Amino acid sequence: MKSITIIDDEFSFGGFTSGNEGIWTRNAPTDPPTDDYISLSERLEAPLSRIIRPYQASGDKVEIVGAEHGGMGVIKDNVLKKVDGIVTAEKGIVLSVLAADCVPIYLIDKKAAVIGLLHCGWHSAAGSLLHNAVQRMKELGASAAEIQVITGPHICHECYEVGEDVRKVYAEAFTEKQLDAIFTTIDDKLYLHLSEAVRSKAAAEDIPDENISAINCCTFNDESLYSYRRGDRSRQNAAFIMMKA
């Protein structure tokens, strides 16, 4: 198992882990929680009924969650379907998403006491996922000037080869200058820099550049983490964050 601490201060604790088995999803909503979620619950000293996982769809939908959503996707069925971002203003709730190359994005506004967590693939990075998350956080009292954005471990720009079809999608969402930072060509192959795309989207939301940071860890290169591109099809990593009581 590999576990990375993303943030640990007086306000919040967030991390990224492969778990012991990399199995977080149950076969049916009535199945018991997976061993990895049980271990995470024990580690965080948070009951499973306070952990939330949306059913992701690599889209742009973001929902505000609270205690009433506790346990969804972990120990009971889920109303958070086709949701790739969740935000909350409630302490003691653990937000979680799964990823095996996509970018987990941690969002924190200490002043407003609001946090968020996103599952961001290449399509969502070019879309409205981050914008929608910021809007949801604002509904809870957050402001762009105070939001901290951290991109967690994901496949890096030296490993994430994509086709011209991806660049065409990005060309509709970013300027040419931004595209030059987001894409790299090596030996006639095109590579995508996801965290740069996130940075550009965050800047468009008026989030200060000094509030945007990235964890330098590639899921493809680090074999102690799971990577879809490397061949992991049934195992994933989990990202999580919670406000401290």
Compute the distance between CA of residue 168 and CA of residue 58 in angstroms, rounded to an integer.
18
Pairing of strands 114-120, 85-88: antiparallel
Phi, psi of 85 (to 5 degrees): -150, 140
Q: What's the CATH superfamily of 3-155+194-243?
A: CNF1/YfiH-like putative cysteine hydrolases (3.60.140.10)
Q: Is a pLDDT exceeding 90 seen at residue 1?
A: no
Compute the distance between CA of residue 16 and CA of residue 13 in angstroms, rounded to an integer.
11
3-class secondary structure, 213: strand
Burial class from Cβ neighbours inside 10 Å (0-12, 13-18, 19+) for residue 162 reads middle
**pTM for this prediction:** 0.98
Task: List, for residues 203-243, the tens digit of each pLDDT value.
Answer: 999 999 999 999 999 999 999 999 999 999 999 999 999 99
Cβ neighbours of 39 (radius 10 Å): 16
Domain boundaries along the sequence of the chain: 3-155+194-243
Task: List, for residues 70-123, the tens digit of each pLDDT value.
Answer: 999 999 999 999 999 999 999 999 999 999 999 999 999 999 999 999 999 999
How confident is the model over 185-191, as a mean pLDDT? Answer: 96
Measured at the CA of 235, the angle between CA 234 and CA 239, to 5 degrees, comes to 135
3-class secondary structure, 180: helix
Task: List, for residues 166-180, the tens digit of each pLDDT value.
Answer: 999 999 999 999 999
Enumerate residues 6+ apart whose C-beta is below 8 A from 237.
Answer: 16, 17, 18, 19, 22, 98, 99, 100, 153, 219, 225, 226
Question: Using alpha carbons only, how large is the chain's radius of gyration in Å?
Answer: 17
